[in-house]
Chains A and B, each alone.
Chain A
Amino acid sequence: MKITVNKIDLTIPEQHKSLSLLNYLRDVLGLTGTKYGCGQGLCGACTVHLDGQAVRACQTSIEEIDGQAVTTIEGLSVNGLHPLQKIWIKNAVPQCGYCQAGQLMSASALLKENSQPSTAEIRNAMSGNLCRCGTYPKIEAAINEVVRGG
Chain B
Amino acid sequence: MVNSIKDISLSRRQLLKATGWSAVGMTLLSSCSSILPALPSTSDPVSEDAFYWFQLLPSGKVKFFCPRIEMGQGTTTGLSQVVAEELNVDFADIECLTASTEQVPPFKMTVGSEGIAKFWQPVAYGAAHMREALRGRAASLAGIEVDKISDAYNGFKIEDDRIILYHDLVSDEPILLNVPDPIEVKNVKLYSLQSSRSKLHIGHDRVSTTMKNIVTGTEIYARDFKIPDTVFGHFFRPPALGVKIESAHLNNVQDINGVIRVKKQIEENLVAVVATDPISLRLAVEEIDVIWRSSSINTTELLSKINVAKIKNNKDLEHILVEKGDSETLPPNAKIIKSNYSTPCMAHASMEVRAATAWVQQDKVEIWCGSQDPFFVKSRVAKLLGSDLNDVIVHSLRVGGGFGGRVLCQPAEEAALLSRLVGKPVKVEWSREDEFQNNYFQPPYSHSIEAGVTANGSIAYWQHDFASAPIITGPIPNSIAWVVDSFKADEGTARGSLHPYGIVNQRIRYSDIRTEVPIGAWRGLGSAPNCFAIESMMDELAYEAGIDPLDFRLYNLSPNHERLKNTLITLEKMKSGLQERSQQSVNSIERDYGYGIACAVYKNQTPVAVAVQVDIDHSEGNIFIRKINCVQDCGAIINPQQVKNQIMGNLVWGCSMAIKERVTFDEGHVVENNFDGYQILRHDECPEINIELVKSDKPATGAGEAALGPVAAAIANAVFNATSVRIRDLPITYDDLF
The chain A residues found within 8 Å of chain B, CB to CB, are: 15-16, 19, 23, 26-28, 30-40, 42-43, 45, 72-74, 76, 81, 85, 88-101, 104, 123-124, 126-140
Chain A residues contacting B674 (CB-CB under 8 Å) are: 38-40, 42
With A37-B351, A139-B683 as contacts: A95 and B74 at CB distance below 8 Å: yes
Contact flags (1/0) for B662-692 with A, using CB distance below 8 Å? Answer: 0000000000001110001111111011000
Q: Please, which residue of chain B has its CB at the minimum distance from the CB of A129?
A: B683
Interchain CA distance A93-B215 in the complex, whole Å: 9
Chain B residues contacting A74 (CB-CB under 8 Å) are: 216-218
- B403, CB-defined interface residue at 8 Å: yes
Chain A residues contacting B685 (CB-CB under 8 Å) are: 127
With A36-B353, A90-B207 as contacts: A98 and B400 at CB distance below 8 Å: yes
- B649, CB-defined interface residue at 8 Å: yes
Q: Please, which residue of chain B has its CB at the minimum distance from the CB of A98?
A: B400
The answer on a CB contact under 8 Å between A81 and B215 is yes
The answer on a CB contact under 8 Å between A92 and B205 is yes
Contact of B279 among A27, A30, A88, A130 (CB under 8 A): A27
The answer on a CB contact under 8 Å between A39 and B215 is no
Q: Please, which residue of chain A has its CB at the minimum distance from the CB of B653?
A: A134
Chain A residues contacting B282 (CB-CB under 8 Å) are: 23
The answer on a CB contact under 8 Å between A94 and B215 is yes
Contact of B350 among A36, A96, A126 (CB under 8 A): A96
The answer on a CB contact under 8 Å between B349 and A134 is no
The answer on a CB contact under 8 Å between A89 and B683 is no
Interchain CA distance A137-B674 in the complex, whole Å: 24
- B265, CB-defined interface residue at 8 Å: no
Contact of A130 among B208, B219, B351 (CB under 8 A): B351
CB distance from A10 to the nearest CB of B (A): 16
The answer on a CB contact under 8 Å between A30 and B217 is no
The answer on a CB contact under 8 Å between B217 and A43 is no
- B483, CB-defined interface residue at 8 Å: no
- B308, CB-defined interface residue at 8 Å: no
The answer on a CB contact under 8 Å between A92 and B351 is no
- B226, CB-defined interface residue at 8 Å: yes
Known: A92-B645, A100-B214, A135-B649. 17 other contacts (CB 8 A): A34-B217, A35-B352, A39-B674, A72-B217, A81-B215, A85-B215, A88-B211, A94-B214, A95-B649, A96-B352, A97-B210, A99-B351, A100-B215, A101-B215, A126-B684, A137-B648, A140-B686
- Which of A89, A91, A132, A139 counts the most chain B CB atoms within 10 A? A132
The answer on a CB contact under 8 Å between B403 and A132 is yes
The answer on a CB contact under 8 Å between A132 and B349 is yes
Chain B residues contacting A138 (CB-CB under 8 Å) are: 645, 648
Chain B residues contacting A23 (CB-CB under 8 Å) are: 278-279, 282
The answer on a CB contact under 8 Å between A135 and B645 is yes
Chain B residues contacting A91 (CB-CB under 8 Å) are: 641
The answer on a CB contact under 8 Å between B217 and A32 is yes
Q: Please, which residue of chain A has its CB at the minimum distance from the CB of B232?
A: A27
Chain B residues contacting A139 (CB-CB under 8 Å) are: 683
The answer on a CB contact under 8 Å between A32 and B279 is no
The answer on a CB contact under 8 Å between A96 and B398 is yes
CB distance from A45 to the nearest CB of B (A): 6
- B76, CB-defined interface residue at 8 Å: no
The answer on a CB contact under 8 Å between A38 and B217 is no
Q: Please, which residue of chain A has its CB at the minimum distance from the CB of B401?
A: A96
Segment 255-301 of B: residues with Cβ below 8 Å from A: 277-279, 282
| The 10 residue pairs across chains A and B that have the minimum distance between CB atoms | A33-B217, A134-B652, A96-B72, A98-B400, A95-B72, A73-B217, A32-B224, A97-B214, A134-B649, A127-B684
- B221, CB-defined interface residue at 8 Å: yes
- B431, CB-defined interface residue at 8 Å: yes
The answer on a CB contact under 8 Å between B683 and A96 is no
The answer on a CB contact under 8 Å between A92 and B649 is no
The answer on a CB contact under 8 Å between A38 and B71 is no
With A92-B645, A136-B652 as contacts: A36 and B400 at CB distance below 8 Å: no
Would you list 12 pairs from A and B whose C-beta atoms are within 8 A, ordered by A residue?
A: A23-B282, A27-B277, A36-B353, A37-B353, A90-B207, A92-B74, A92-B642, A92-B645, A94-B215, A96-B398, A132-B653, A136-B686
Interchain CA distance A43-B641 in the complex, whole Å: 26
The answer on a CB contact under 8 Å between B683 and A123 is yes
Contact flags (1/0) for B101-141 with A, using CB distance below 8 Å? Answer: 00000000000000000000000000000000000000000
- B719, CB-defined interface residue at 8 Å: no
Contact flags (1/0) for B642-658 with A, using CB distance below 8 Å? Answer: 10011011111100000
The answer on a CB contact under 8 Å between B652 and A45 is no
Interchain CA distance A52-B681 in the complex, whole Å: 27
The answer on a CB contact under 8 Å between B675 and A130 is yes
Chain B residues contacting A94 (CB-CB under 8 Å) are: 72, 211, 214-215
With A134-B651, A136-B683 as contacts: A36 and B223 at CB distance below 8 Å: yes
Q: Please, which residue of chain B has its CB at the minimum distance from the CB of A97?
A: B214
